[in-house]
Structure 1
């Protein structure tokens, strides 16, 4: 009898110890197992030892039933499991701004009580399952900023409680389902922009009387006429139909009246008010592609500073004077250096030094009296003097080899001098001097430069090593041999002729720059922003592949301290990089003026907002696209008035200038590429939208460019 009681107690006690996680918990654990990366440990407390998942991060329960899974912006990388569909009481899923990839399983829609599904800002792809129509309680569906393709499921019209539908910035095709406007009358927000939807706009969309804000159908392939029934939408609704293939007269009723031309730009076949393109009696809605570029001058709205008067910038005479002054200044400094070096320092040179043109100095020894400093000057305790730090296992050179190398001045910008350095074994590098400054921020500099050194992409210049001392900071990059995109587009100063880039090559360069930016924005460790993108910062290699350069340079210069702009005007010979002499060889390229055009690549909000955003880079990229299409600088002279390139294009489009008036004359032989050029022009105008929120992400810009024909050499 005692043995029987002990056996019962043993069984009872063991049943308490054994895990009793319920079925919903195991369903969520399968979700966790499908996550390959969780860098922030967001799912760290999802453990099988719990009785239920109600205490887990991102999980909300009601009466011990999971009703919500919300884990946004946690950089989760993995597949979206179908097991979520087994959560019978699930009402809300929010996994926005992560890195989920793969398709959207139809099994997810077994959770038929789902009220909101928010998955925007991931990398999900494939078609949308038709089972979406089973979600009769669905009120919010946001799948924007992904890579979904195929058509919008016809069953979506069964989701009659839907209030928010955002499918923008995907690759969706086909026409809108029948009954779209009849069944989805509860819709309050509708955004289908930046897809490839086609067909006509359903006339029943005028029934969506609950819509608010902006109804965005822009950047698609909708054709035919604008249905007059759209005027039945609430008058406060803004209808964005820009950049489609719509044609015919614009209806003048209700919500379509008094909208201004900005709601209709990018549709070559539209006519009538508010456009300046009157409808002819026999209007068919079709026009030649060459009549495309029309865009009102108030899109984006111009600030008062940019209307009528000269855009801020320097005159040509001022630019020439500054360039000449820079050249003369560097020559004078070079002569002074040569005199001092030959008269006072030459006795300290060894035979090896004479071969490579450098004075070798060990451990900060001050041998050249011209530039002697107080020998009591010391570095921070944590900084090793004259230490070259490799950032790549393939770096096989050391500081001594760098000092002995032949060196030539490549150019000067507001952030120091850039040298071309050829090592004894023939390896060529680019060395940028950041200038002088204190050592108090060394750790910050080290952290930043080593993070940049980890970036590896075919379209981003690689930082190979760096050098730090209290007086000098050097960045050692791969040398890109074919100069900058600015020189390829406009030629080099002093050269009368140059070989213009054909359209096929320009398109390939555009695609490469876009890929590099996508990498920086989405796949680099910190989702970086370049912040200063312009043609002079895009270098071309021997195969004319683009490489984005000067990334993170402004921040590094700021951390390094000093005044790079001033100090880059001085080339001394005491410290290692100062012994990289200014060469009189013909290999010295044009010095880059520190004046001038860079600000015209910056987004309008950059003047007001301190912290840069990725949409700044999108705007800059758009200006570069316009420059590559037109062959013009970012400042255009129109009579006696200067205006920036974006506003000039808008003016040309408003005045219905033919494409030939806008196009770079060197592209005249590429007339058969007119459709591609117009497509790129549309992409560019989307990128330079005055509102950052309305600009596409670089991923979608890159996708749009990739859909264009692959250029053939």
Structure 2
């Protein structure tokens, strides 16, 4: 009996040992967690996945953090990113089970159906990007529960209904883009009061109506766009919109707005494109003047009370009726007064004339002695002080163009200065003031016969152009010997050296695609602002990588706007593409010693539009062409000059031939970008934008505003 019991125990032991061995050789699959199940529910709602973006999403893998497009932190799903994957399907409510989900990016797919309310119950969501799909229906009111939401992009869908008022509860929103849908009704109250963190608000291309809320003027954090165009807004433009930051782009075009355009703050100096398509709007910058409020007669009559026709005439103190006929004594008094007034005016004029003649002779005497009065003299009844100074003195003080300028010429001269660059336009210095402020100072050279007022008009027009992507002109200095322009100092070199490297920089690091896109977008925004800023239709005329400066955060800043015109005023020419003086006179400056100059446009020809060589009137499409060449240079990593040397053709033609010959994209793009294969779609899309910009026919080139819309579709 004991023997049998021992055999049974031994058999059980062998069976247990065999079972453990099988488990070690053939492990049982672990159960998929709840988040994995929610993601698989999303996959099951997708009918087509031509790019196999979800191929790795399967129940055999217990950890969804390893799936394509999924990002996790501490084992929790925090992001879903499958943009431009051509997914056809819908969004399931099960995504609400992802409690730690922060970011969803499903831009530019073929998703359809309604937005599930459950998706908006995940309070941790910070970024929800669903633009470029086919969603329909209304935005669920539950969107207001997303207290952490910062980016909400649902443009280019088929959504309708009213904009939910609960969006105003998302007080952390920085970007709200509801454009190109079918929303109707009024903008909910509280947008301007609650969404003060907004940097961009785009409600364009909908059917929104009613008046523009005046509290939108409270959006002081806007740094990009307030776009209300292509809607049905009516009524006047609120003057409070003038309180918005001046650097932003305000677009109110194609609505039913009426009344005069307020001329205050951010609404001043806007181009007509921001207001076009509103036939009942009037005033600057439109060509539709506002009607006068009334005639002079009507106005003068309204200043007096109504007098009934049957009122008896007022009697004088002696009982006689007053009459409108003047007495002889009154007429004589009036005549004598007129004669005396004319006599006094004649004496004053004669006195001023004598002073002017005397002052001019004294000025000649002082000039012959080399002792100018430094502009303190001012003629009576003559020219204004600035004109007199410009013609009769040798030197002025520094003239600020910005209220933030707290330095003067003495501070500038005491600072440490060294040459950063030189060209036919002049020399550029980096000047460090004693208080630590660093400036860029461009010396333009001799004043020649140019008057101060002419120079002042040009420079002050340049100074009014204020945008984050355009170098700001802060002050200027004028004298008969030289002129100085004082700019913000941009610390991180220029785009040309960032693309190709600086010979003096041994630690050159190529730009990543994300940085290149940031630069492309920044330059496009700056150029679009320049084109739309004034009814005069400004043209930069010399856009090239060396004129695009980079800040410490790699944000681009367009420089040298208006310098071509100033230089041509110097040399007495009218074309903005004139070549600089070949032989500059040797000059002494408070900031420099004698330096020889090179031609102004030494490397500009590679970036010029074909029609610019025919000396036609400057066009903004010239700048679009230059921008397109810069895009090609950033994509290919090739300098136009280097391409010309090696292939005897310009960069534009080289890229066009490469495409015509159906060469691989790898043959065109910068070799460093080949290390980012996931960016191929974005690079291809950008290449198409560049080729559109360099069309031979100017009419076929897009506007810079259209370029921005195309680039905004790229992944950030």
Q: TM-score range by the shorter chain?
A: 0.3 to 0.5
TM-score, normalisation: structure 2: 0.45
From the CA coordinates, give the structure whose radius of gyration is larger.
Answer: 2
Larger RCO (CA under 8 A, 6+ residues apart) = 1
TM-score, normalisation: structure 1: 0.45
